[in-house]
Structure 1
Amino acid sequence: MKILGVAGSLAGWKTNMAVYHFLTAVKEINATLETELLDLRDYDVEMGPRGANSLL
């Protein structure tokens, strides 16, 4: 099984570190699990005209 951790904050590093530590703890509990950290800072993400939380 693979566990994907997504760090969705485009600024700062705390979210990334929290997800990283979670994935590390998962591997310590069960070394057979595959983990991956997806950091959205590594991608060109554009926000809509009203921001990320807008439905319009």
Structure 2
Amino acid sequence: MFATNGRPYLKQFEDRSGIWFLDAKKPTNHPGPLKAWYSSRGLKELLRKDIDEAIVEAGMNFM
């Protein structure tokens, strides 16, 4: 999900500017500001990304 208040992203006002993104596939994810917009390819890759699987493959299973 994307949200914006119409202001450009400024590092000094990170919590009040820019476009914010939330990957709502998991309820534990948190929103954050985007420093740049996703490309079409980037959005497709994000949709295919399975964080839990990537963590297990990297050997970083903390559960």
TM over 0.5: no
Quick one: higher RCO (CA 8 Å, sep 6+), 1 or 2?
Answer: 1
Q: Normalising by the residue count of structure 1, what TM-score does the alignment of the two structures yield?
A: 0.24
